[in-house]
Amino acid sequence: MATLFKPVVTEQYPREKAPVEPRFHGRHQLNRHPDGLEKCIGCELCAWACPADAIFVEGANNTPEAQYSPGERYGAVYQINYLRCIFCGLCIEACPTRALTMTNEFELADQTREKLIFTKDDLLAPLREGMLAAPHPMAEGTTDGSYYRGEVTGPARNSVEWVRENRPDEPSLDSAAAAAERSGATK
């Protein structure tokens, strides 16, 4: 009888979404460097650390014509099977380049099993204003260590010019060129 007069605490979930905690483990995201190159180097440590065997990574070598990440390698194929993932975060801890993080997105239900296997295109962070879509060369006069120390803060002029010559119809070219001009430096 005492519970009859207590207030109702029902959440109206689909209509009113409750905020999640900042450290909530949700959908994964593959991050980019400030100039647009991918942080994933295809080392496969995240796949080895996954206790549910939900991650598949296949690395490939960067070439001067196709530089997707700083250094020698990049993740050519990246898949996470959310039917198996237990959202433990061990893949995040294993990543040496901080390429993989977890977002607060938790609505992952879908109608088919195939849609719950996220590919690299689904996981890759969107290009922010001033970033140049990969592939493009690293900033002139830098090494992969320069990227990891945070010395590269945006697209370099040599990268913008290379993309202008090889892919003139690239949609991110104009904003990246403007960002490179504002910075006024090669790094």
Q: Which domains does the chain have, with CATH numbers?
A: 22-183 (3.30.70.3270)
pLDDT tens-digit map of 7-59:
888 888 888 888 899 899 999 999 999 999 999 999 999 999 999 999 999 99
* pTM for the model: 0.85
* Per-residue confidence (pLDDT) for residue 14, from 0 to 100: 84
Q: Is the pLDDT of residue 119 over 90?
A: yes
Please give the average per-residue pLDDT across 74-100, as a whole number: 96
SS3 of the chain: the string is: CHHHHCCCCCCCCCCCCCCCCCCCCCCEEECECCCCCECCCCCCHHHHHCCCCCEEEEEEECECCECCCCCCEEEEEEEEECCCCCCCCHHHHHCCCCCEEECCCCCCCCCCCHHHEECHHHHECCCCCCCCCCCCCCCCCCCHHHHHCCCCCCCCHHHHHHHHHHCCCCCCHHHHHHHHHHHCCCC
Residue 5, class by beta-carbon neighbours within 10 Å (0-12 exposed, 13-18 middle, 19+ buried)? exposed
Confidence of residue 186 (pLDDT cuts 50, 70, 90): very low
For residue 187, what pLDDT is reported? 45
Highest mean pLDDT among 77-81, 146-150, 159-163, 174-178: 77-81
Structure confidence at residue 166 (pLDDT)? 92
Band the pLDDT of 184: cuts 50, 70, 90.
low
For the chain, what is the mean pLDDT?
92
Average pLDDT over residues 106-135: 94
Q: Distance between alpha carbon 88 and the CA centroid of its chain, in Å?
A: 18
Rounded mean pLDDT, 101-110: 93
Helices 173-183, 157-166: axis angle to 10 degrees equals 160
